[in-house]
Amino acid sequence: MRKTLLALTFVLPAAAAFAQSPEDTVKARQGYFDLLGAQMAVLAPMAQGKMDFDAAKAETAAKNLGALAKVDITPLFPEGTSNADLMDTRALPVIWERGDDFKAKLSAMHAAASEMEAAAGSLETLGPAVGKLGGACKACHDDFRAK
C-alpha cells in the first residue's frame, strides 16, 4: 500500500496535467480524496475508541497520510470542474471565487496530515491529531463542497 501511495504522489499531478477532459481531472481529484479517506477510516475509529488501538496499523495509515500531504493537488482543481459545470463532483464554484481561502484551507489540511506520523505512536497523541485533521477537512468541506 505504501508503495502504491508513493507512486500516486507522482502520478496524480501528472494525470491532472495530461487529463483528456474535465471529467478525467475530477476522477483524479476524487481518487486522491478517496486515498485520504481510506487512511482516516483506519485512524478515526481508533481515535474515537470504536476500535482497539493498533500501533502498526496507525503508523502505516499515518505514513500514508504523510505521503499524500506532499502531493500538490492544485492542478486537480482547474476552472470548469465545479458542480455547476459537471454532474459527478461536489466541488462548489466558490473554490475559484475564493481561491486564496481555498488554498489556505488545503494547506491546513496538508499540514495536519503531515503531522499524523509523529502522532501515531499512542492513542493519547493520535486522538488530538485525528481531530485536527478532521477539523481541517471539515473547514474546507463546509465552505467548498456541496452536501
Local confidence band at 20 (pLDDT 50, 70, 90 cut-offs) = confident
Reported as a single tens digit per residue, the pLDDT across 25-55 is: 999 999 999 999 999 999 999 999 999 999 9
pLDDT value of residue 5:
59
Q: Where are the domains of the chain?
A: 2-144
Detail the residues annotated as belonging to a binding site for heme c: 137, 140-141
Detail the residues annotated as belonging to a binding site: 137, 140-141
pLDDT value of residue 12:
59
Tell me the average pLDDT across 108-122: 95
- Answer whether residue 16 shows pLDDT above 70: no
pLDDT value of residue 7:
58
Reported as a single tens digit per residue, the pLDDT across 55-105 is: 999 999 999 999 999 999 999 999 999 999 999 999 999 999 999 999 999
pLDDT value of residue 24:
96
Q: What's the topology of domain 2-144?
A: Four Helix Bundle (Hemerythrin (Met), subunit A) (1.20.120)
- Answer whether residue 18 shows pLDDT above 80: no
Local confidence band at 139 (pLDDT 50, 70, 90 cut-offs) = very high
CA pair distance 147, 52, nearest whole angstrom: 31
pTM (2 decimals)? 0.85
